[in-house]
Amino acid sequence: MLSFIYRLANEFEHEQGFRPNVLYMNHQHFGRLRDDLAEIPDLDIINQLLGMEIVLDDELVHPHVYWTPVDWRRAVAV
């Protein structure tokens, strides 16, 4: 999963000229990512390693990366 996300981020940067800052994925893909990074138990450290915030949405079939000006750490769910 990690190599797939890395490829998505690189393709995005090549096309847009800047790195993505958000990774959208479903819980199943997130579980695979956590398995790949099992030695890193802290989600904040995973976000820092990826350079992206992770947004979970079970309606997604495949992970996607985007850039947004929203600071997800400060966003409030309603």
**Which residue ranges make up each domain of the chain?**
2-66
**pLDDT attached to residue 72:** 63
Assign 45 to helix, strand or coil.
helix
Q: Model confidence over 47-72: pLDDT tens digits?
A: 999 999 999 999 999 999 999 987 76
Contact 22, 53 (CB under 8 A): yes
Show the tokens assigned to 66.
């985007």
Supply the pTM of this predicted model. 0.84
